Structure 1
Amino acid sequence: MRAVEAPQILFLLIASMQMLHALSQFIKLQINEIPSPALQARNSRHVGSGQVVRLRGMNRKFGEGRVEVNFGGVWGLVCPDKFSTNEAQVICRQLGFERGSTDYSIVSYYNALESAHYSLNGLACEGSERNIFHCRRSSNGKCSMPSHAVFVRCRLNYPSRCSPGGILFKEKCFHFIRDLEYSFDIAEDHCLKIGGSLAVITSQDENDFVSDVLSTLNENIRRLKPWYIGGRRQEGSWKWQTNEIVASSTFSKWDPKGAKIHRNQDCVAMWNQRKFGNDYFFWDAMNCRKRLPFVCQVPAYHIDCIIGDGKTYAGNANVTENGLPCLPWTNYKLKNIPLSSKQLGNHNYCRNPNGASKPWCMVDEKVRQNCDIPVCSKGQVVFDVQDHEECDKDETICTGTKMYHSLQIIPLCGKKCLQSRNFICNSFSYDVSEKICLLSSEQARTGGANLTNVDSSDYYERIRPKDQEEKRDAFKVRLVGGGPPWEGKIEVSVGGKWAAICDDGWNISAARVLCRQLGYPNALRSWIGMSNDRNYLMDDVKCTGKERYLNECLFNGWGKHDCGPNEAAGVQCAVIERECFPKKFKCNSSHCIDFKWICDGEDDCGDGSDEDLVKCKLPVEVRLVNGSSIDRGRLEVKFYGIWGTVCNRDFTVHDAAVVCRMLGKQGVPIIEPYQKYGSGTGPIWLQNPGCSGDEEELTRCRIRRWGYSKCSHDEDVALYCKESVFSTVAPKEILSSTECGRTFVSFRARDPRHGYLARVVGGFEVRHGAYPWTAAIKLDNTRHLCGASIITPFHLISAAHCFEDVPDLSLYSVVVGDWDTNAHDGTEQKFGIEYVSFVPGYENILKDDIAIIKLKSKNDSGILFNKYVQPICLPNADAAYPAGMKCVISGWGSMGTQNPRRLQAAEVPIMNPDTCRDPLVYGNLLSERAFCAGYLQGHVDSCKGDSGGPFACLSDGKYYLFGVISWGDGCAQEYRPGVYTRVRDYLTWIKQTINS
């Protein structure tokens, strides 16, 4: 079928709008009401998204990418012929970036659209249009630059108008919460706590904007999760859940085929299922109890505006142009910064106390960043970034802004503007009554080499000769003098003038920023000492490596340097993506696809080379490499005939047990610290294999998808299939031959670094009976105090400090078999405490924090063991505590504001003792009979109320009590892991105490 011609599209669009308007006259929508899927289906004439312009490409950031246009129902490229800043500005504004573009480039495209063609040729815009279809264009003719596309970077809407993480669109800040997955109600509460609601989307451009952000956030575009937005069905009608009044609107973006809404699917989510050839997030109905990421919206802040360089700015912007939160000026980390101003105080608002180019703030002890604050309107006779040269003898500085006073003020200001070195001065404003002149980089219309009065006597701007009309003041970068285009000496341009960068301070962090700005994924190396004349534009460039553009880094100022003729900086950028392997799979057709698309049932290569049935059915092999013996090393897996690695993140002893079994090793698997045996190459085949531990091979585990991973090779699994050093049965004198460490409810705690915010901090709610040795110690029969672990029908192990504050044991009780603390589960057993034994010499929580609880008998009996109540095993005296081995912590500890109702659990790794004793962590506070577990970056930890609970390690199908939850500095804080008492060191005392 041939494509629909433009006149037909226009006719269909007008007819659709007329029908929609007519239908709305008969179907009256109420305030906050959403058109139902059935209503949308009646109005839809095609299955398209309605989006007409988008940015796409691999490894791109939001707001940048290859320009694609939907014309005649088909997505295609924009021909680069005669493409200029004007077209880039219009495209970005059409996409919702009100400030237009920062730059553009012409790039060779690869792995682009399967049947790429040019939708627009001969595009010519004046720059003021709001839509590229308002520009002059041609849909016919050949492009003189085949195999090339236009790549644009748009200027983000003011980040300072949103709290950190928010993305501004019109007057809303959208927050995309992907690290927390909540039910609809809890997601709604989270949005309310940050001052907003779940997203309300009432227009095509708004849905396009949110969809594009979601597409950028999700690398795995084929199996995306839905994202909650603020729609919900109530009493048969769909409504936006917000305290704001949403005017009735006929807009909706349900699944184009008609959403199939089943019973209990009452909440709206955006979902990209890649249906109908659309890379777009449509709406669908979800069960409101389903845990999903979600999108919040918060009203944008009113942060005022800046006059000139912002020295007089007194607004409340406290987020930098990179979206980072500002530190308070009184922060102890900033005490050595030599600043003094009445503007600074006990706040973290952006200020300009030292005459910088614009307001700024500190984001770290040694890192400052500029704030992106709107410039006041022309009616206020103020402009953008100011010049900062020293005043002449007949000039003064007053009222917080640099201003020049002179008997000949206008000629002086004109001279200052034309001779400005720190920035490109394009205009100045002169107030006759105040005799004040402000220099500016902005101008009301395009100008050039001389200054002329414009419209009134108080405003002057630069005019350009005709031969300079094409010169732009935008910041640009390029590489020259190299062999291939991705390496060479760096040159930058401001105002059409190209010059080198001095190599003083030039390093790999700056090189990475430069390469990303040029469109490459990374930098391989930075060079210094390259040949150059004395023409330099930048010197002492200092980058953190996270900046989007090189001119966001700190440097001395345009043209200010002390460099000689052979001190130019250079770079070699990475081009690995063009070569496919090892990051991507190379098809026989030379296309590159993600490894995760191999053997997924779809011909992604177009030639079937990713779906070879013989290779898909090849047996999976495993091996350990780079180790000192065949039973230890870096884990590698062979799938589809290609050797790759496995990510340590979410890899458990259950997964390790299956690997060891495949290697013919029946010993105890020990997950060693990653990178112990070096980093691998090729694909990372697995993350979280999902094994229960009983499988014969990996293919029988619950593998989400081969090749799906968010890891790097720095996180490759290191494994040791070691012979068992654990007790296989509990000591008879303790348990009287009763089996220990068994569970009868299937549940596997996860490593929840990217999961819900819960307690055990960062943990997960478990099934009833999952860890049946976990007991609760209560005070006054009601208040949860600590945890404990069952070891015999009359004995439990807990932390000694749990009993320090209240010596009266009659006030304590122990509950076993509990799960939901706010409900009667029918499995609880409650006991009083007969006595508590401490280690001789116990003084405080820092040493020997372990205690044995003896229960009072009830009906001449102790604990009755069943499916929900079981003892845990004790380890042998020579049990190993290898760094990286992950074990389970469980309890009802604090969730931050309150304790959870139901038992929580999480899997955390044992840390290297040297790491824990580092001065930045706990130093000498860690005793010789304690150990740390968790992550230096925080997120997952035990917390208040978990003390005394179990640190349980699985071996040979049984759990062993390796540790007792003891103490920590805060909960889940950075560099503050949890500290646990090592049970192995107290076995003699435990047995003597129980048998005495």
Structure 2
Amino acid sequence: METKSDHCSFLQYFWHKKIFFVLDRYVRTEGAWLLNPMKQVYRANSDEECAEKCENEEKFACRAFLFTSKDQQCLTLSENTKTAMIFRRANAVLYEKRIYLLECKEGNGVDYRGTEAKTQKGVKCQKWADNTPHKPNYTPEKYPKAGLEENYCRNPDKDLKGPWCYTTDPDTRFDYCNIPECEVECMHCSGENYHGVVATTMSGLECQRWDSQEPHSHGYLPENFPEKDLKNNYCRNPDGEPRPWCFTTSPTKRWEYCDIPRCTTPPPPPVPGRQCLSGRGEDYRGTISVTESGNTCQEWSSQSPHRHARTPENYPCQGLDENYCRNPDGEKRPWCYTTNTTARWEYCNIPSCDSAKPEAPAVDVPEQAEVTEECYQGNGVTYRGTASFTRSGKKCQAWSSMSPHRHNKTAKNYPNAGLSQNYCRNPDADSRPWCYTTDPSVRWEYCDLKKCDDQGLQTVPQPPQTAEECIIENGVDYRGTVAKTARGRTCQEWSSQRPHSHDYFTPTTHPRAGLEKNYCRNPDGDVNGPWCYTTDPRKAWEYCDIPKCPPPQYECGKSKFRPKLCAQRIVAGCISHPHSWPWQISLRTSYGLHFCGGTLIDPQWVLTAAHCLEKSSRPAAYKVYLGLHREIATEPSVQIRDVEKLFKEPRRADIALLKLSRPAVINNHVIPVCLPKENSVLGGREECYVTGWGDTRGTPGEGYLKETGFPVIENKICNRPEFLNGRVKKHELCAGNIHGGTDTCQGDSGGPLVCLDQDKFVQHGVTSWGLGCAQPMKPGVYVRVSNYIPWIKSVMESN
């Protein structure tokens, strides 16, 4: 029998389910505000309540609503972003009804609310409220729910042929409109906008849910691709394939295309293409047909000299005419296959739609690498630093780009605002620097910057801090100024031979031991701690009484010196800010020759590649250098550790752990990186960074730590035949620029690939292998660290 509480629970469930579906009818944009003269203002406790106000609005057809949680204010609106100006506003969220954003119909189009206002013959429609040239039977007064606004095509009488309108031609009372079919269970073009519910592949396999990592781990997470509608396990096309696809629930078949039929109605008419580059250039329809290196483009319909799948038949809506540069698959910018047999494809040099002159590239030299401004004065209008992340960790959209957010804050409109690249700026004199974000659902946010008078990270290295008057372990790294022994005797200077003559422990024999003046030191690693020769002729030497330091407090993945975050190259050079990657270590031979990189993940543990340890299984064959910027390691911040134990991953993955002979001293120059959560997977868009002293192939900066930023490439794409052809395994990941020029190289092996997560760097990859260095179509491959978190923890805990 149904109880009262059961009935209430059911009603509560039904109510929440109803609210969920109501919000699902809207497109959500944070930080946006519409200028709309026709509106109604209400109080609401939540966006769900505000959605109900919009659904029940009687004063006008509600197309959108604005909700501010701080003020609990709800504004229902008669317009949306298609008809009204959009502005930035903090703490506001804009919800737009999907039905009013669509320019397609489902079935007979009774619910069509688009803005098409001409017939299939091109005749302009008459307004539904007008009586000339035709007296209408269907008017807004008689049919208030039919959306008879302006002169838009509608279907108030449920005509089986679809939307129609009265015409402005006196000889033709009405005619049908040419409204394309929405892609529900059929697809136009390559199915980029398919939103149907097919969830099986062409061979009958059930699709894996997009938010699941079983049985196949992947980077197509719904939160990373909010505009791609990656719901449940429905077939979708988020990455520019010829048609929708999905990961399968079969462990032996990673992914497969879905059998979605083509729509019988013609695709929507193409938007007039641009003759210049805006955003990624997906709408470029110009006639440039030469690549940036001067190669002539191959015709898209041709399979010679390069065979490919980017054909006009597979990509029917992408303007693949003749051999013109295009971007059919979401690349960084327009490209083409070339007629050069040795260069399969290359990007094209398309002039920007922004008429502002491009900035001259900065010369990258070590001295310049140390100077930048990373705090703002006043409201930050004059800020010209290189911060490019918001306070919630989102990457900034380039000011010259109109994707994913269109705007008017360009260098042309604001010539004095410093709107270069995607750096945080304040062109409109807001309260602090901000930027548009690369997240399609969040239009803009304030940046992660501090005022110059606040306490925070400093970019330019500061003078060395006063050495602490305490010791860690046996005090080998002690550099304090105590100069008396435990019994009160004054220490003799290390460079002096009086009153005690000694040949071994001098600044010359031990240049790295800090034997300055007469300070207590431990040059021989004495287990009892620092000591010194005394000035008492009767006592040659004594121990010093220096207290033990408390355990170091630090936050993993947070550098004391802000990184440059250079999105250029390692092989073609970007020198890091000194000590901005304090977890980077240099793995060396026992006589000090650098040959591999590695990462400090704990004061006494380093992560590196197993293949770096092939020459010897003896820990004594290796040394670890920490706290260095220059490969010659002459900085006073350098710490050197022997390796006590080494551990290779037991299933022969290219990952290994080194236990240091004693913990590293954690300070401004040496800090461990953060490790990822177990089995966490990166999306296919993260910008990550690699560092190293590896081979620069003759480019500038040799001998300095270099960095580069480039995107992670989903394994599905990386394993395509034209890239690494199935070589990348499940426990590995790809990263790099597909067009080449950016990569790790010999000497970088074992080093970190780190990604910014909010305000901390997390190590997601260990540099493992690649086909050559910085070759086109051959991105670098990294061991996926998140797969080995249990092994890493077990080794560290048991040793």
Instruction: Please state which band the TM-score falls in when normalised by the shorter chain.
Output: 0.3 to 0.5
Higher relative contact order (CA 8 A, sep 6+): 2
Calculate the TM-score normalised by the size of structure 1. 0.30
Q: Which protein is richer in strand relative to its size? A: 1
